Amino acid sequence: MKKAKKSSVAKWSLPTVLAGLHDDIQKRLEIARKTLVHPVAKGDASEEVWLELFKTYLPQRYQAAKAFVVDSTGAFSEQIDVLVFDRQYTPFIFKYNGQTIVPAEGVYAAFEAKQTVTSGLVKYAQTKIASVRRLHRTSLPIPHAGGTYPPKPLPYIFGGVLSFESNWKPGLGKPLLKALAKGDPDRRLDIGCVAAHGMFTCNATGCHDISPLKKPATAFLFELIALLQNSATVPMIDVRAYAKWLAH
């Protein structure tokens, strides 16, 4: 009697796959910290690690880039390390001298990315996200076969920080949560990842650390996707509000 052949189908392990995603992110951030001496070079390398993660794993309706945000009044945000924006319904994304400029209506989230999270980084990130949230956003009525739908409410813009390690001990303890709680709603950071320690989330009721986590980068990615899934689609942009600047 012939022996049954062993199955040639690979035995996949979802925990192994998910763990590998985090390990890759953490290893690349750690290499950048150990090998690059100049702080700017370290920061640039950190941004690229997170940008590649977003570009690879976020649904294709979203795009991620280092960018400025502009509104129809001509106001600009500060430069955002990792900006998550719509590419499906936003009719134009400017490219100028190697810089990316995104209309305010297309923005979903903005992150500051550095090697180490500190109180200074938290304040800096809060200022950056506030510069985006305070921009003017248009929203037009949406035509359909039977008439028009009213203008969509403007979706909330998420803000956060991304880093490899923390300047505090424990990495995500009360000092970090206290720093996150400061400031007005425009400055609120909603989510962040410290790859070597864990992640945090904030809402109207306060901030909460989720640590220790075995694989925080993967957990953060899933939480961000969940937040984006629950967010409304970007509004119908008033292109003519931008076109008026052609007369200047």
Q: How confident is the model at residue 78 (pLDDT cuts 50, 70, 90)?
A: very high
Lowest mean pLDDT among 64-68, 112-116, 131-135: 112-116
Query: Which residue among the candidates 112, 128, 190, 209 is catalytic per the annotation?
Result: 112
Q: What pLDDT sits at residue 188? A: 94
Tokens of 20: 């590998």
Q: What pLDDT sits at residue 213? A: 66
Q: How far apart are CA 248 and CA 246, in angstroms?
A: 6
Query: Cβ neighbours of residue 156 under 8 Å, at least 6 residues apart?
Result: 231
Q: What pLDDT sits at residue 16? A: 79
Reported as a single tens digit per residue, the pLDDT across 176-210 is: 888 888 878 899 999 999 988 889 998 888 888 77
In order, the DSSP letters of 139-179 are: ---EEETTEEEPPPPPPPPEEEEEESEESSSSTTSHHHHHH
Reported as a single tens digit per residue, the pLDDT across 90-130 is: 888 999 888 999 999 999 999 999 989 999 999 999 999 99
Q: 191: helix, coil or strand?
A: strand
Tokens of 150: 């009213």
Indicate the average pLDDT of the chain: 86
Q: What pLDDT sits at residue 3? A: 60
Q: Specify whether 112 is catalytic.
A: yes
Q: How confident is the model at residue 7 (pLDDT cuts 50, 70, 90)?
A: low
Select, from the ranges 38-47, 64-73, 198-207, the one with the highest average predicted confidence (pLDDT): 64-73
Q: How far apart are CA 149 and CA 170, in angstroms?
A: 50
Q: Which residues pair with 113 in a beta bridge?
A: 162
Query: Which residue among the candidates 42, 114, 128, 215 is catalytic per the annotation?
Result: 114
Closest C-alpha among 102, 118, 99 to residue 110: 102
Is the per-residue pLDDT at 10 higher than 70?
A: no
Q: How confident is the model at residue 232 (pLDDT cuts 50, 70, 90)?
A: confident
- CA gyration radius for the chain? 21
User: Could you tell me if 211 and 171 are in contact, meaning their C-beta atoms sit under 8 angstroms apart?
Assistant: yes
Query: Which residue among the candidates 71, 81, 86, 190 is catalytic per the annotation?
Result: 81
Which has more pLDDT, 46 or 127? Answer: 127
End-to-end CA distance of the chain: 88
Which has more pLDDT, 2 or 76? Answer: 76
Q: How confident is the model at residue 171 (pLDDT cuts 50, 70, 90)?
A: confident
Q: How confident is the model at residue 2 (pLDDT cuts 50, 70, 90)?
A: low
Q: How far apart are CA 30 and CA 146, in angstroms?
A: 56
Q: What pLDDT sits at residue 91? A: 86
Is the per-residue pLDDT at 37 higher than 70?
A: no
In order, the DSSP letters of 23-71 are: HHHHHHHHHHHHH--SHHHHHHHHHHHHHHHHHHHS-TTEEEEEEEEE-
User: Could you tell me if 34 and 100 are in contact, meaning their C-beta atoms sit under 8 angstroms apart?
Assistant: no
Is the per-residue pLDDT at 150 higher than 80?
A: yes
